[in-house]
Amino acid sequence: MVFSITEYLEELKEAMLPTVARAEDDVEDVEDNEEGDGEEEDDDDEDDDEDGDDEDGETVDQLDALRAECKETAEAKPLVHHYMECVERVHAAQEQPGYEDLDYKEDCVEEFFHLQHYLDQCAAPRLFDRLK
């Protein structure tokens, strides 16, 4: 297939720019206004109330839920412990006078990445089973 440069750039633009989608509530409001039948709107409102539990509450990211489960496993406990100890050390050091003048300021990047690496490896195999 031979594409022109403009077609290639157009496809690249579509791939890189975020896609904007309207919320479902806007579409339902427009449909209700077009129908104009008061009785059907009352029935739709009742259906919305039944389904409203799912829409009113915030949806929880399933990856975050899986990571939270993985964080409670025995393998993750030492990683979480090391990370939290590091965070406490850093906060304690930041409260000390002269912290800004120190040449070396400890951070918890290494501990954080070890913990995130484990959580990602734990959650990834189970993630796609939960997605719809």
Cβ neighbours for 62, distance < 8 A, ≥ 6 positions apart: 127, 130, 131
pLDDT of residue 5: 77
Query: What pLDDT score does 15 carry?
Result: 76
Q: Tell me, yes or no, whether 113 lies in a domain.
A: yes
Domain with 123, as residue range(s), is 62-130
Is residue 123 in a domain?
A: yes
- Residue 50: per-residue pLDDT: 45
Q: For the chain, what is the domain count?
A: 1
Does 82 reside within a domain?
yes
- CATH code of the domain containing 96: 1.10.287.20
Residue 4 within a domain: no
In terms of pTM, does the model score above 0.75? no
Confidence at residue 130, expressed as pLDDT on a 0 to 100 scale = 82
- The answer as to whether 73 is a domain residue is yes
Residue 74 confidence (pLDDT): 96
Q: What is the pLDDT of residue 8?
A: 75
Residue 21 inside a domain? The answer is: no
Amino acid, single-letter form, for residue 106: E
- Residue-by-residue pLDDT tens, the chain, 132 positions: 556 777 777 777 777 776 666 666 555 555 555 555 554 444 444 444 444 445 556 777 889 999 999 999 999 999 999 999 999 999 999 999 988 888 888 899 999 999 999 999 999 999 988 876
Residue 24 falls inside a structural domain: no
**CA distances (Å), 4 to each of 1, 7, 15, 49, in order?**
10, 5, 17, 51
Given this model, what pLDDT does residue 11 score?
78
Return d(Cα 45, Cα 31) in angstroms, integer. Answer: 13
Cα–Cα distances (Å) from 86 to 42, 68, 70, 90, in that order, read 57, 20, 20, 6
> What does the pLDDT read at residue 88?
95
The predicted pLDDT at position 49 comes to 45
Does residue 39 lie within any of the structural domains?
A: no
